[in-house]
Amino acid sequence: MHSRGFKNLINGNTINISNFEGHNYKRMIKFLTQFGRYILLLKKVFSKPEKPSLYFKQTMSEFVNLGLNSIGIIAIISFFMGAVITLQTAYNTENPIYPKYLIGLGCRDSMILEFSSTIAALILAGKVGSNIAAEIGTMRVTEQIDALEIMGVNSASYLILPKLIATLIFNPLLTLIAIIVGIFGGGIAGTLAGVITTENFIYGIQYAFIPYYIVYSLIKTVFFAFIITSVSAFQGYYVDGGSLEVGRASTKAVVFSSVLILLFNVILTQLLLS
């Protein structure tokens, strides 16, 4: 058999390895091209604004659209998340040697370290990320972005920078809300289910508290907010086609943002807690 091929065990055909190499080469080139466009887009986004007052109004609007409108879903999911964590911890620590306050401690640390930042970020990637990609993508296919460019407006900065500022400032507040509501939900669920008393739960959430965990969670949230907004805006900004491509861009925005959130979650955890 030729040195550049191998036998397919199913149909006996020879497959040329060079085809795989060429395919991987094209994928690498495509990835580097997209990454370069992403960096150049960020360079345009962070350029000096033409009219700061106009950007301020846009930023205030994004605070409402991307921040305030997300409080409801974050609060609801955090409440039930805290409730489930408390009940699961209680039912898995029924051994008498484990003090009851460990249930409250487990709920507190789980909400602070992981659920309030990472899970909330994944939720926001679906809600906020798809919204950003669809909004900017629609403006691209309807040539509104081209009109801004013709008028001499830096469209990337005008459309994306206010969204970045709003999410970078407001998402940490959403994380704090998630922590508080999640712990409260855990306390309510544990008390109503009779697995822990209110006194033991409160003692548990106070026991051996490490304030740095809050800082760690907020740092992760800032990184996640930047990923969600910039990746989603990138997918929408470079849409080429019609409404079908806008839908695909929204899907890509959610998928890519979620994968990057999980990747950076591992990296930041190793850097910040090691």
CA 21, 26, 261 angle in degrees (round to 5)?
110
Query: Residue 138 corresponds to which tokens in the numbers above?
Result: 């629609």
Task: State the Cα–Cα distance between residues 23 and 272, nearest whole angstrom.
Answer: 38
Statement to judge: residues 100 and 157 lie in one domain: yes
Residues 180 and 120 in one domain: yes
What's at 9, amino acid-wise?
Answer: L
3-state secondary structure of 183: helix
Tally of domains in the chain: 2
Last residue of a domain, one of 9, 25, 45: 45
Structure tokens at 102: 């460990």
Under 8 Å CB-to-CB from 13, ≥6 apart: which residues? 7
Same domain? 39 vs 55: no
- State whether 135 and 28 are in the same domain: no
Task: Look up the domain containing 96 and give its range.
Answer: 48-273
- Between CA 272 and CA 274 the distance in angstroms is 6
The torsion angles phi and psi of 120, rounded to 5 degrees, stand at -65, -35
Same domain, 94 and 170: yes
Looking at the fold, whether 35 and 159 belong to one and the same domain comes out as: no
Distance of CA 11 to the CA centre of its chain: 44
All residues at 6 or more sequence positions from 42 whose CB lies less than 8 Å from its CB, including other chains: 230
> Is residue 12 located within the same domain as residue 127?
no
Angstrom CA distances, 182 to 50, 103, 224, 261, stand at 42, 13, 20, 21
Same structural domain, 117 and 202: yes
Both 67 and 15 in one domain: the answer is no
Average pLDDT, the chain: 88
For position 17, what pLDDT does the model report? Answer: 54
Boundary residue ending a domain (14, 30, 45)? 45
Residues facing 16 on adjacent strands: 5
**Whether residues 196 and 244 fall in one domain:** yes
Q: Same domain, yes or no, for 40 and 53?
A: no
What pLDDT is recorded for position 6?
43
Instruction: List the pLDDT tens digit at each of the 274 positions of the chain.
Output: 444 444 444 455 554 555 656 677 788 888 888 889 999 999 999 987 777 777 888 899 999 999 899 999 999 999 999 999 999 999 888 777 888 899 999 999 999 999 989 999 999 999 999 999 999 999 999 989 989 888 888 889 999 999 999 999 999 999 999 999 999 999 999 999 988 999 999 999 999 899 999 999 999 999 999 999 999 999 999 998 888 889 999 999 999 999 999 999 999 999 999 8
Same domain? For 82 and 198 the reply is: yes
